[in-house]
């Protein structure tokens, strides 16, 4: 089994190997046998199953995989995950996970210090989406604690929250899951760079009040998913203070940059936030999944979520039961997401993470320069990216004489998925794409893999041209 895993890793880091061997679902179902048998299979068959599974798996750690916010495979963190799997424990009580629980405390405390909180509380959640949901639940509970026992009927009116039109869809999903309703998650317009416009926020807050709604929360994004934009925290915090609104900062993507003093300015005002989401599984390359949410106020999380289950959280245990973190969360069992993170931090030191962030930004600038050198082939959407997101259209030969403008953009938007399909069929490159607001489909390249070098960035530029020039 170890040999099979190491073989996959070697292929992942081998630039001459394909990123993926793409098959449509019905083809794949014909090639591999996924059926669940009545009779047991022998160990040789199980090993063959393991090999087949990895044969058709996308190598997300390949240096030419620029497709997601979590790219790359860090081998130290991976070794940590192996240990975690071997220990196979649940994170609800100190009783069964003493070392891991203490590690969680140390690591989350350190992260709060880096954010700039004094004291406070944090938890690891199954992804940034759930971290954001925790923030919504805590914000609502602080204002209306009766909602926990009496439900939505106890609220004095319809609550509304605000987030930018470029924010992650998880804010909408939190509005739905918490019973507020998606109509009550109000989208605030952004400027050309994708940053929330504070004056628009204030206008919409005032409008919602005059419409008889009750604003309670604003989410600012630090590193938006598509553009990598950073909302201006201080002006947003001023509005929140004036109207007594909870301020949440969604730094699921951009949070990694907090590790470098150089980029700290992007988060100016973050200590004014009541809560912060930060995903180490994105820019910091901790293995999936590892997401954290931090609160300025201590004990809120506990009061908001605790159910006092007698069979787990007995108050008369013979140790300090405040270490039984399980009663702070909306889960019962919780996966151990800490060890692979803690081990990686030990391996790199805080300085190592800082260097990694600086390297990612350096490579991003290298890519932007590479695209700017070929203006007839690549049309940048955000001229000066704030994070490692580089957004652009690829321009095939026949469009190069056409005047730039909405009509050409529309046609390039149709080309984008076709070029992506060609990337996946050849298996040499993967870059994500999406529309954003009025902008039709464009590519979003992400650099968040430590294996990427300048040569890989050069390859990306040339390979897109090779695959797409005749479209």
Ligand X SMILES: *Cc1c(COP(=O)(O)O)cnc(C)c1O
Contacts with ligand X, residue ranges (CB under 6 A)? 69, 127-129, 132, 168, 170, 221, 224-225, 250, 252-253, 279, 291
Taking the CA atoms of residue 243, residue 249, residue 250 and residue 251 in that order, the dihedral angle to the nearest 10 degrees is 160
Using an 8 Å Cβ cutoff, are 158 and 184 in contact?
Answer: yes
Nearest distance from C-beta of residue 178 to ligand X, angstroms = 16
Residue 69's SS3 state is: coil
Nearest distance from C-beta of residue 387 to ligand X, angstroms = 10
Nearest distance from C-beta of residue 385 to ligand X, angstroms = 14
Residue closer to ligand X by CB (options 133, 301) is: 133
Nearest distance from C-beta of residue 251 to ligand X, angstroms = 7
Closest CA to 300 of 117, 26, 94: 117
Nearest distance from C-beta of residue 69 to ligand X, angstroms = 5
Between helix 339-372 and helix 75-87 the angle, nearest 10°, is 150
Residue closer to ligand X by CB (options 69, 91) is: 69
- Report which residue's Cβ sits closest to ligand X: 128
**Gap between the Cα atoms of 258 and 358, Å rounded:** 11
Query: 179-184, long-range: CB within 8 Å, 24+ apart, which pairs?
Result: 179/151, 179/152, 180/136, 180/140, 184/158, 184/159, 184/160, 184/213
Residue closer to ligand X by CB (options 267, 394) is: 267
Nearest distance from C-beta of residue 284 to ligand X, angstroms = 13
Residue whose token pair is 């070794």 = 79
Using an 8 Å Cβ cutoff, are 122 and 357 in contact?
Answer: no
Nearest distance from C-beta of residue 176 to ligand X, angstroms = 15
CB neighbour class for 423 (10 Å; exposed up to 12, middle 13-18, buried from 19): buried
**Gap between the Cα atoms of 380 and 399, Å rounded:** 15
Residue closer to ligand X by CB (options 173, 453) is: 173
Taking phi over 0 as left and psi of -120 to 50 as alpha, with beta for the rest, 363 belongs to alpha
Question: What is the Cα 160 distance to its own chain's centre?
Answer: 24
Residue closer to ligand X by CB (options 256, 440) is: 256
Residue closer to ligand X by CB (options 70, 305) is: 70
Residue closer to ligand X by CB (options 89, 221) is: 221
Nearest distance from C-beta of residue 471 to ligand X, angstroms = 30
Residue closer to ligand X by CB (options 250, 456) is: 250
Using alpha carbons, list the distances in angstroms from residue 8 to 16, 148, 285, 356: 13, 48, 18, 24
**Gap between the Cα atoms of 16 and 99, Å rounded:** 42
């Amino acid at each position: 089994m170890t040999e099979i895993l190491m073989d996959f890793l070697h292929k992942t880091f081998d630039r001459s190997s394909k990123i993926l061997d793409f098959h449509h679902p019905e083809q794949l179902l014909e090639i591999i046998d996924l059926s669940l048998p009545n009779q047991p299979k022998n160990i040789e068959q199980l090993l063959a199953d393991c090999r087949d599974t990895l044969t058709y798996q996308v190598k997300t750690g390949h240096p030419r995989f620029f497709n997601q916010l979590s790219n790359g495979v860090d081998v130290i963190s991976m070794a940590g995950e192996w240990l975690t799997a071997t220990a196979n424990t649940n994170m609800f009580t100190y009783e069964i996970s003493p070392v891991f629980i203490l590690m969680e405390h140390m690591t989350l405390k350190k992260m709060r210090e880096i954010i700039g909180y004094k004291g406070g509380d944090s938890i690891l959640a199954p992804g940034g989406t759930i971290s954001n949901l925790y923030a919504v639940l805590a914000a609502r509970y602080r204002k209306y604690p009766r909602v926990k026992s009496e439900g939505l009927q106890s609220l004095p009116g319809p609550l509304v929250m605000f987030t930018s039109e470029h924010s992650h869809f998880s804010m909408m999903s939190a509005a739905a899951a918490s019973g507020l309703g998606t109509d009550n998650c109000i989208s605030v317009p952004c400027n050309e760079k994708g940053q929330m416009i504070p004056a628009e926020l204030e206008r919409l807050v005032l409008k919602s009040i005059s419409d008889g709604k009750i604003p309670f929360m604003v989410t600012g994004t630090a590193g938006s998913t598509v553009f990598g934009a950073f909302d201006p925290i201080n002006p947003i915090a001023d509005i929140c203070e004036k109207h007594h609104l909870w301020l949440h900062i969604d730094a699921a993507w951009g949070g990694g940059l907090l590790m470098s003093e150089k980029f700290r300015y992007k988060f100016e005002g973050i200590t004014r936030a009541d809560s912060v989401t930060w995903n180490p599984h994105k820019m910091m390359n901790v293995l999936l999944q590892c997401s954290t949410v931090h609160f300025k106020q201590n004990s809120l999380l506990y009061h908001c979520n605790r159910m006092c289950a007698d069979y787990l959280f007995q108050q008369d245990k013979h140790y300090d039961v405040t270490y039984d973190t399980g009663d702070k969360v909306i889960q019962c069992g919780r996966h151990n997401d800490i060890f692979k993170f803690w081990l990686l931090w030990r391996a790199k030191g805080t300085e190592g993470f800082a260097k990694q962030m600086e390297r990612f930004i350096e490579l991003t600038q290298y890519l932007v320069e590479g695209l700017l050198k070929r203006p007839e082939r690549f049309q940048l959407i955000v001229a000066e990216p704030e994070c490692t997101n580089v957004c652009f259209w690829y321009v095939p030969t026949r469009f190069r004489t056409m005047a730039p403008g909405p009509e050409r953009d529309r046609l390039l938007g149709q080309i984008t998925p076709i070029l992506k399909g060609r990337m996946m069929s050849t298996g040499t490159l993967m870059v994500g794409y999406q529309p954003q607001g009025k902008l039709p489909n464009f590519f979003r390249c992400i650099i968040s893999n430590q294996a990427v070098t300048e040569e890989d960035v050069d390859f990306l530029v040339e390979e897109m041209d090779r695959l797409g020039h005749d479209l």
